[in-house]
Amino acid sequence: MEAPEPSNSRKYGVPFYAAAWVPSISLKSEQESLESEIDRDQSGDGDGDVSADDKTLPSHPTTAVNYYVAAAGGGGEGRSGISNALILAHFDFESRSLSDQPVAKYGTGSDLPYRMAVHPAGDGIICSFPKSCSLFKLDIKKDDGDQKLGLKLSQKVLSQLDDVGLQLALKFNNEGSLLATGGEDGNLRVFKWPSLDIILNEPNAHSTVKDLDFSPDGKYLVSLGGPCRVWDVTSSTVVTALPKGNDEVFVSCRFSLANNGNMVLYTATVTGKGGAIVTWDATTWRRVASKLITRDNITAFNVSANGKLLACGTTQGDVLIINSTSMRVQKIVKKAHIGFVTAMSFFHDSRALVSASMDSSVRVTLIEEEQKNGMNLWVIIFILLIAVAAYLIKNGKFDKFELPTFSSG
């Protein structure tokens, strides 16, 4: 008999290529402007109509304490019968459960949303499609007196990203003031947001751009596609190209801050022995360390906002949480997904990780409880030692207590 699906994992009928948390600030700002949004909709000045898919979804009450994950994917072009869509799912930390069905779903017709970037301050979700990119907005409407969360296509046309081909990488900087895109054709672009004024345009950055990330201060941008290159955003010049080992293939790259406050760069690599993480000094750009994490290939990688945790997804569907200081696996969820992991993203306070897969599943792995359990164990041991010592003293046996000795002969 097949085991029941855990409440923190749900299948939503769409093979997913991208997943991320929706910032709670975006929900608050939308709620605060709910009445004005309704007024604009009634006057015809609002953004485009909501997809017809929204009309068939169950309503879900939205408050400031609710948390949502966004995921995008589909079956692509053709007559596969699998829809292409951007979805929102609700996650409840108290019950540790994802909503049984998406709380919102925007069908994208025959266009597959292949990559996704959520603006850190809640200014929408950008999805890349085979030929261009589009911006979506959260939409809170009244439905029979209840509030319902939905998605709508923004009227803001991303003209600089129209007819540019498939973008395999999308990334905002931490402030949300810059957007970097990397194309299947190898073209690397950086725009100011929201004006879309272009500040970096390198048509031949790579043969194809597979991953991107801004440094925490926004000064640098790392791009990956065969070689891994670091760019100075202000001068639009290459700072360095990271050398790889003989049997290494770079698959992902992320900047972070170490516990000492220094900036580091991580690259997830595939080697002849499995998946490894390489740490680079972000001042000298020299390789600091390399650690084999799993015997399987790494297919997804990310770093927590506080820099303390790394996450890897594998070809076998496993999810691994790694302590960035010791580089030891802190938690592993075997077969978290049936298919290989395509995307993962930490919650802003690092207490949870969302992951997605081609098997149409989204999963939230909680990390906070793992940390609490570890702390409680040490507290329990300390209390037991104090209790034993108090008992010995009370009964006058403490001075008689001797460690056992062992004779050599």
Integer Cα distance of 358 and 339 in angstroms? 6
pLDDT band at 265 (very low <50, low <70, confident <90, very high): very high
CA atoms within 13 A on the CB side of 180: 30
- pLDDT given at position 287: 97
Is the CB of residue 104 less than 8 Å from the CB of residue 58? no
Contact, 336 vs 9, CB < 8 A? yes
Q: How confident is the model at residue 46 (pLDDT cuts 50, 70, 90)?
A: very low
pLDDT for 38 equals 47
Put simply, whether the predicted model's pTM sits higher than 0.85 gets the answer no
Phi, psi of 369 (to 5 degrees): -65, -35
Q: State the helix-helix crossing angle for 34-43 and 24-32, rounded to 10 degrees.
A: 60
Per-domain residue ranges of the chain: 1-27+65-164
* Single-letter amino acid, residue 320: L
Give the phi and the psi of residue 366 in degrees, each rounded to 5: -85, 140
Classify the C-alpha dihedral 144-95-322-264 as positive or negative.
positive
Cα angle 249, 250, 254 (rounded to 5 degrees) comes to 165
Q: How many angstroms separate the CA atoms of 157 and 132, rounded?
A: 10
pLDDT number for residue 81: 83
Q: Are 160 and 131 in contact (CB under 8 A)?
A: no
Q: 115, 127 in Cβ contact below 8 A? A: yes
List, for residues 87-96, the tens digit of each pLDDT value: 999 999 999 9
Q: What's the pLDDT score for residue 133? A: 98
Residue 48 pLDDT more than 50?
no
Q: Any idea which residue has 């200014």 for tokens?
A: 123
* Six token digits for residue 370: 């793992």
Among residues of the chain, what percentage have pLDDT more than 90? Answer: 72
More confident residue, 44 or 178: 178
pLDDT at 259: 85
Q: In what order do the strands lie in the sheet with 352-357?
A: 9-11, 361-366, 352-357, 341-346
What mean pLDDT comes out for the span 74-86?
A: 87
Q: Which of 189, 300, 312, 187 is CA-nearest to residue 251?
A: 300
Omega prior to 113 cis, within 30 of 0: no
Read off the pLDDT of each residue in 128-156 and give the average, rounded to a whole number.
89
Token representation of residue 112: 């597959």
Q: What is the pLDDT of residue 232?
A: 98
- Give the pair of three-digit tokens for residue 371: 């940390």
Q: How far from 92 is each of 100, 260, 351, CA to CA, in Å?
A: 12, 34, 13
Mean of pLDDT values over 193-204:
97
Residue type, 65: V
> What is the model's pLDDT at position 355?
98
The first and second tokens of residue 325, run together, are 């200081």
Confidence of residue 141 (pLDDT cuts 50, 70, 90): confident
Span of 93-107, 144-158, 197-211, 316-330 with lowest mean pLDDT: 144-158
Would you tell me which CATH number, out of the four given (2.130.10.10, 3.40.190.10, 3.30.70.250, 2.40.30.10), belongs to the domain 1-27+65-164?
Answer: 2.130.10.10
User: 196 pLDDT exceeds 70?
Assistant: yes
Q: What number of CA atoms fall less than 13 Å from residue 27's CA on the CB side?
A: 20
Write the pLDDT tens digit of every residue in 286-330: 999 999 999 999 999 999 999 999 999 999 999 999 999 999 999
So what's the pLDDT on residue 65? 64
For residue 58, what are the CA distances in angstroms to 53, 283, 353? 11, 51, 26
The count of C-alpha atoms lying within 13 angstroms of the C-alpha of 160, restricted to the half-sphere facing its C-beta, is: 18
Lowest mean pLDDT among 159-163, 233-237, 395-399: 395-399
How far is residue 316 from each of residues 15, 132, 178, 296, 392, measured CA to CA in Å? Answer: 16, 32, 35, 7, 53
Average pLDDT of the chain, as a whole number: 86
